[in-house]
Structure formats: C-alpha cells, structure tokens
Chain A
Amino acid sequence: MSSPTHAHHPAYVKIWAVLVVLLMVSVLGPLTGIRWLMLLLAFGIAVVKAYLVAKNFMHVNIEQRWIAYLLIVSLALIVVLFAGVAPDVMKHRGLHWENRAAQQAVEAGAHAAGPAHE
C-alpha cells in the first residue's frame, strides 16, 4: 500500500493540546472588545485548527496527493457558489434593482438595536 500509515503517528496528545490552547484564545477574543481583532482571531484560528486536524488526525499529509486536491476543489466550488449567489442575495441593491424588503428589514433591525449598533 502506498500510504504507510504504520510507524507514522505524530504526538497526537501534543497536537490536541495546541488545539485546546487555540480554542481558548479564540474564546477570549470577544473580551478584547475590538471587533476586527475578534473576528480575525475567531476565523483565523478556526482555519488553523481545521488545518491541524486535517493534516495530523485525518492524515491528509501522508494520504495520496489527489485527496488533498479533491478537498480543495470541493471548497473552491463552494466559493464559486458563493461568488455567483452573493451579488443577488447578500447585496440589497445593484444595477437597476434594489431589494426593498431586505433594506427595510435591516433598517428596522438597526433602529431596534439602538444607535450604538453599527
């Protein structure tokens, strides 16, 4: 078999410890009160954690190379889906059109939440 999983077991407990520390950092993010830092911490750490799990626990690194490509192509197509849909659904106005219902919902929500809300 071309993928020798035998004798290729990294120190799993160490990786787990790193993951838990990362989790704690991302939970502490909101305490900083800085919105961009919190979002960066939350999603940046999520990506790092996912990478660590995929590489070390799922063994993508020693799996056949095309498995990684398969996963990347899957994610890329989700990005394509997002890019094709978001201009109509995420945006509430565009060339010669606007989505009044959504605009009203956003406005009503902003009033209800008070002026402090961005």
Chain B
Amino acid sequence: MPEAVKAGTVDRIDFAEVVREHQAMVFSIAYHFLHDRPAAEELAQDVFLQLYRNLGGLESPEHVTHWLRRVTANRCIDVCRRRKLMPRIGLDQIPEPSSPAGVADPLLERRLRQLVASLPEKWRALVILRYQEDLDNEEIAALLEMPVGTVKSQLSRALDLLREKASRFLGEVE
C-alpha cells in the first residue's frame, strides 16, 4: 500500500485504496469472529468509517494495518459481549459457498470455523489473529495489550480445546 496513505494528507482516492487493500482482512476477522456474514459486513464498514475519520492521524501503512487489526478485534470482542452471540446455524448464517483451490475438506473447515466462533471472545481473537493474520505472540500481545505470556498460555489452551472438540466431531476415540 505504498501510495494509499500519505502522512498528514489523505484524500478520498487514498481512502478508497486503503479500503480495497484491507477489506478482506477486516471483513474476515469480523466474519471468523461473529460467524455471521451480514453482521461482519456491518462491523467492517463501521471500522472503515472510523478509519476515515481518523486517517489523518495515522503515520504509515504499517500503522494503518495495525490500527485496523486492533480496532476490528476490539470491536468484535465488544459486539460479542453485548450480544452474547451464540454460534447457531441458521439458513441466513450459513457461510456463502466458496470453493477456493486446495480446500481438502469443506465440511471440516466449516466445522472448525464454527468451533473457533464458539470460543470465549479473547481466545477467539488470539486464534484469528494467529491463524488468519499469521501474527506471532509478541505482535498479538502488542495489538491486544496483553502480556506475551498470557497470549502464549491462552492460545495453547484454546488450541487444546479446539483439538478436543474437533476430534469429538470426527467421531474419534481418544
């Protein structure tokens, strides 16, 4: 995003480029968090509008990315806490069909997304930032303002829980 943000001066074209470049990231964090496509779209739109109001204060492309991840993750946590969202499968909430190349097992992937969406909010944020955004423990800790040790231990517990539930789904005997 070299031209999307120029320090101190932002015009509409820059903002459009920022939106296009980061829309998949913001939308996907929200979608994997909420497991609800319309709600994720609404949340992502709000995040970008907040960015639009604050873009002048952001200093670099890296700052924009960091800001978007942090605001999106925190908003998702807030929304979940407010709504106490239950991951239910309703016709309107089933993910849109998509068949990217290399998908080994769509059923399993959908189930994993459901399992992630059923984790406690903080754990959910950790898992999404780790495996969707490929961030390391230090980066996640900085983003969510948590100690690195806490990130590490909570991520490990979240993975244990996911592993247990995923095995149960597959009908395995442990």
Q: Do A and B come from one complex?
A: no
Residue positions of A touching B, CB distance < 8 A: none
